[in-house]
Copies of this chain bind each other. A is one copy, B any other.
Amino acid sequence: MVLTQSSPNRPLRADARRNREAIITAADDLFRTQGMGLQMDEVAQRAGLGVGTVYRHFPTKEALTVELVVHRMETVINQAEQAMETQAPAVAIRGFIHAMARMMGEDAGLRETFQVQSTADAQREECAYYRQDLHERKFGLVRRAQEAGMVRADLAVEDFDALMCGMGQSILAGGNPELMADVLLVGMRVPDGDGSQCGAADGGGSAA
């Protein structure tokens, strides 16, 4: 562990600032492709710098990825905000989910941002604010859709989160993003009372 800056808050030297930008750009590219699997050496190489320089700016791989994760959370928060501005609750949640699907389709880092397993402990702390903000927005989207009777009432925000997370995995597994999003949307509606379709019937699978 090395201090990123020795004295309080002096503006970075010109070359240092330039390098910092290069590092973030390089890291972001790799994060989009490889998610948390990105390697510090690769970041350095892609930025045209030595590893030491990367570590001068980010004392830890995690410190670097937090930057990237936060950037993605902001994007998602914006999406949620935009969706909320839409009047119709149904269109709002639909727009959000489809936007997420589209973005997740081309950004491994974004997919992992919403997965528990890849979210290291310390990240939680750094991102707490964003996580909270995003949580509230999602809550709003879901609740409004529920009030409008367009999403089943027994679906908690946690379940919504889980579904979004699963959608990312589905897309990674090769599912068409549009379709995956649609399945999710339709699936969240209030289920029919009768069992004429596959949804609500009972007495299916069994055995150990």
Contacts and interface: CB of A to CB of B under 8 A. Distances in A.
Contacts of A187: 182-188
A203 interface: yes
Interface string A88-99: 001111111011
A117 B172 contact: yes
Q: How many copies does the complex hold?
A: 2
Interface of A: 79, 82-83, 86, 90-96, 98-99, 115-117, 145, 150-151, 154-155, 158-159, 161-163, 165-176, 179-180, 182-189, 191, 197-201, 203-207
B90 A198 contact: yes
Given A186-B191, A198-B189, A179 B155 contact: yes
Given A90-B201, A91-B203, A162-B180, 20 more contacts: A82-B206, A94-B201, A94-B204, A94-B205, A95-B204, A116-B172, A116-B173, A116-B174, A151-B198, A155-B179, A158-B175, A162-B170, A163-B180, A165-B170, A166-B173, A182-B199, A182-B200, A186-B197, A186-B199, A187-B187
A73 B170 CA distance: 19
A201 to B, nearest CB: 6
Give the residue among A93, A98, A186 with the most B Cβ atoms within 10 A.
Answer: A186
Given A204-B95, A205-B94, A185 B166 contact: no
